[in-house]
Structure 1
Amino acid sequence: MKYRANPNVDRIFSRWNKPNSPGFALAVSKAGKIVYSRGYGMADLDHKIPITPGTVFHACSLAKQFTAMCIMLLEGKGKLSLGDKVGDYVPELGELGSHITIADMLHHISGIRDQWVLVTMAGWRMSDDVVTLGDVLYFVNRMKTLNFHPRSGYSYSNTNYTLAGLIVERVSHKYLSDFARKHIFAPLGMKSTTITNTHGQIMENRAYGYRAAGKAFEIRMPNYDLTGATNLLTTVEDLVRWNHNFDSHVVGGKKALATMQEPVAKSNNYGLGLMRGDYKGLGLVEHDGRDAGYRSHLIRFPEQQLAIALLGNVLLVDVETADIVREVADVYLPRKRAAARQASAKTSAAVSAETSAVAPEYAAPKGFVGRYYSEEIDTVYEVALDRSSLRIERKKNLPSPLIPIAADTFGLDDFSNVLTSATVKFSRDAHGKIDGFRIDDARPAPENQLLNFRFTRL
């Protein structure tokens, strides 16, 4: 269907709507009917194939809400319960699994460490090295501690949903992809949607992922051979069909769909694969996705029956999809109020200014030099001295400078494309000698994805 051009929407995407740029597909719906859809930029720069509303994108973490729905469908059939212990289905978690429920994982209050953090800390290079389900289970099996005691905090962890997808497979005796196709995609008419079990699986009309490389672009594709947390391939028009299900209740039923949208204590407004929030006084439900070379966002305003689906094949550096979909929403929302974005930006700047400190001097840097081992990732890091500065050296990665913050405490910037900033706190034995360190995500709660991750000096 062709729609009359909407200049107010199109200008938002003008920077990408070029024959030499990747870009986005957009669909806007009201009361379940698409009122505007369009592609901006190119799906394939090699062959000059433009993006259309029918272009298939890797949808990143939008996969999580479909995994959550699969769990809800199994609960509806009496095959499992959200209150079941994860260890009953995933013995690889060992004793830790006896304290965590399926609901804890889906709400990200399990304390389970994030798989992307673990594999990159162990030396994997995201988008270059393949990450398999076996790799994730290897680290799950080695996990000795959690980020926090279950239900006492929130930490967004992709491992939660990889394990949830595994539970679906072990209970249904079907691949997650097959279960979702039969019970979700087919009933809703999502003909261009699938979950891929391997990164090399062929999908018609797929957009390649890109990132900026100077003034040009280079291909950047996710190499994931696992499901549950990611590997959903879909179109914006199919996402709108899925979104309308929250009003039509075709799949799952009213009760299950309501449960998916309800946060619990400590879950940071996170339901099951969905987050609640507000914008300019209007309630919303949303989720975004970020993987190598791709971005995604699905947002809806239930009371206004407005939904916006956004899929992109470009790694964003100076804007978030949350900002883009809200700009689009401004065009269609029936009322407008003063935006709080500038105030929020000023507050963030003030907080940043308050928390920044002059790096202190630290004595005897040679005392930190040595080799440190983590049993959880079976990996050795070397703390080395480069002239008078310390740095961490590890396989497959460039050295990471340690930036002094306080006594025995250092900052670690650009540690990986997942754990972008961290703090390293060294510990000492009874004689005052360094005997290890721990790494914590430096981002403020609840954004931190790694807490109390320990290395022992060899």
Structure 2
Amino acid sequence: MAQENVSSRIDSLFSSFLKTDEPGGAVLIAKGEQIIFSKGYGIADINTKELITPHTIFNTGSVSKTFVSNAILLLQQRNLLSVDNNLLKYFPNFKNKAIAKQVQIKHLLSHVSGLPDNREVSKNHDYYLTADDEQNFAPVQQADTLEFAPGSRYKYSNPAFNALALIIEKITGSKWQQFVRNEIFAKANMTESDITDGAHPETGVSHAYEKENGTFKELDYGEEPTFCAAGNGGIWCSVTDLHKYYLALQKPAFLNKEIIAKSMQVKIFENWSSEKEPNNGYSWFITKTINGLERIGHTGSQGGFRANFQFIPEKKIFVGMLFNTPHNYDILMEKIEQILKEENYL
């Protein structure tokens, strides 16, 4: 009965703002392997009117960073790198080699590198429509100074994950996309997932839109820059596959349990000097539910796509949301948690 109540209430929540004839989204809520609720709302493509289902593929934006992070940690597990290695080891052409020596892989993973994002994406919009990971990280290698000492404070960095993607390639000798497909997608049985690699996937994929003056306009690959900067936002998934990813992290299917656990712990470096307490591990963000339980996850935003991947370890609750038009996933997460709490799932 409780599950029926949850399903009915979650459905009412999403039906209240996602229309059947407009871009919308998909949501999946589970307790461990048991799916509590899974449904799609709206249309994936305005031209074809294809309906969104739990198997529709969306760009996940920065949720992609967790896959890159796990791939790096997998290489460390195989003794092919150490997160203590510095950037000069992998990028010998850094203009200021002293900077490259200071910044370590672990700083990139936790957004504390101090490397400036000097790409000027808005100024060079057309160039960044097709710029890949290497082209996105190239300007950063020309930096003269750091914005702060690595480890001393937090500043979210997209180019850091372009660098991490390139490090995977330098070590494996193949494209990082293929490494993730083989070592994470395949191990997690993620058959409804893909990665931007020169072009975006097209089969079963939704397009993203933004409403402007009452009309939906496409805002994804080809309109919005950095879609080809795959290391920071190139993973495409269905909510069904996001759940499989969650389960693979719990088993675990591709990394040992200790490494996964450590990656999801808040990282505080010895020289931390910011007044703000950190709340992130290696790519993961560690926050609290409405009733004070630990919540681990990542959100994503790219073009008109929005993504939210969250789980609550103590209760084995997973929530995955994917949209092809902008919606406030933080407020939705709170509302979902309120329903789960009232129905004794939290």
Confirm or deny a common fold (TM above 0.5). Answer: yes
Relative to structure 1, the CA distance from residue 128 to residue 139 in structure 2 (aligned partners, 3 Å threshold; closer, same or farther) is closer
What SS does structure 2 have at the residue aligned with 1:225? coil
Identity across matched positions, percent: 24
Residue of structure 2 equivalent to 1:258: 261
Residue of structure 2 equivalent to 1:270: 280
Q: In the alignment, is the contact (CA less than 8 A) between 1:276 and 1:285 conserved in 2?
A: yes
Aligned partner (choices 325, 331, 336) of residue 314 of structure 1: 325
Residue deviations 1:398-448, cap 9 Å, x none? xxxxxxxxxxxxxxxxxxxxxxxxxxxxxxxxxxxxxxxxxxxxxxxxxxx
Residue of structure 1 equivalent to 2:36: 35
Q: Is residue 299 from structure 1 mapped to residue 317 from structure 2 by the alignment?
A: no
Relative to structure 1, the CA distance from residue 336 to residue 195 in structure 2 (aligned partners, 3 Å threshold; closer, same or farther) is closer
* Counterpart code for 2:156: Y
Q: CA deviation at 1:11?
A: 2.4
User: Residues 64-83 of structure 1: matches in 2 within 5 Å?
Assistant: 64-83=65-84
* Counterpart code for 1:284: R
Q: Is residue 104 from structure 1 mapped to residue 103 from structure 2 by the alignment?
A: no
* Counterpart code for 1:269: N
Question: Structure 1 stretches (4+) deviating beyond 6 angstroms?
Answer: none
Aligned partner (choices 329, 332, 335) of residue 340 of structure 2: 332
Residue of structure 1 equivalent to 2:293: 282
What SS does structure 2 have at the residue aligned with 1:290? strand
Residue of structure 1 equivalent to 2:145: 145
Q: CA deviation at 1:15?
A: 4.5
CA distance in 2, matches of 1:237, 1:221: 22
Q: In the alignment, is the contact (CA less than 8 A) between 2:137 and 2:159 conserved in 1?
A: no
Residue of structure 1 equivalent to 2:219: 220
CA distance in 2, matches of 1:325, 1:127: 35
Residue deviations 1:237-264, cap 9 Å, x none? 1111111223211210101111210121
* Counterpart code for 2:201: I
CA distance in 1, matches of 2:194, 2:93: 28
Unpaired stretches in structure 1, ≥5 consecutive residues = 338-458
What SS does structure 1 have at the residue aligned with 2:106? helix
Residue deviations 1:316-348, cap 9 Å, x none? 4xxx212212212322236599xxxxxxxxxxx
The alignment's TM-score, normalised by the length of structure 1, stands at: 0.68
Q: In the alignment, is the contact (CA less than 8 A) between 1:211 and 1:217 conserved in 2?
A: yes
Q: CA deviation at 1:16?
A: 4.2
What SS does structure 2 have at the residue aligned with 1:66? helix
Q: In the alignment, is the contact (CA less than 8 A) between 2:68 and 2:165 conserved in 1?
A: yes
Q: Is residue 234 from structure 1 mapped to residue 265 from structure 2 by the alignment?
A: no
Residue of structure 1 equivalent to 2:246: 243
Q: In the alignment, is the contact (CA less than 8 A) between 1:188 and 1:250 conserved in 2?
A: yes
CA distance in 1, matches of 2:292, 2:344: 10
Q: In the alignment, is the contact (CA less than 8 A) between 1:282 and 1:301 conserved in 2?
A: yes
Q: CA deviation at 1:37?
A: 0.4
Q: CA deviation at 1:203?
A: 2.8
* Deviates further, 274-283 or 102-111: 274-283
What SS does structure 2 have at the residue aligned with 1:34? strand
What SS does structure 2 have at the residue aligned with 1:39? strand
Bigger fraction of residues in helix? 2
User: Residues 41-190 of structure 1: matches in 2 within 5 Å?
Assistant: 41-94=42-95, 95=97, 96-114=99-117, 118-120=119-121, 123-125=123-125, 129-190=129-190
CA distance in 2, matches of 1:26, 1:154: 31
Q: In the alignment, is the contact (CA less than 8 A) between 2:194 and 2:201 conserved in 1?
A: no
Answer 1 or 2: higher relative contact order, Cα 8 Å, separation at least 6. 2
Q: CA deviation at 1:4?
A: 6.3
The alignment's TM-score, normalised by the length of structure 2, stands at: 0.89
Unpaired stretches in structure 2, ≥5 consecutive residues = none
Bigger fraction of residues in strand? 1
* Deviates further, 136-145 or 181-190: 136-145
Relative to structure 1, the CA distance from residue 272 to residue 202 in structure 2 (aligned partners, 3 Å threshold; closer, same or farther) is same
CA distance in 2, matches of 1:127, 1:325: 35
Q: CA deviation at 1:20?
A: 3.0
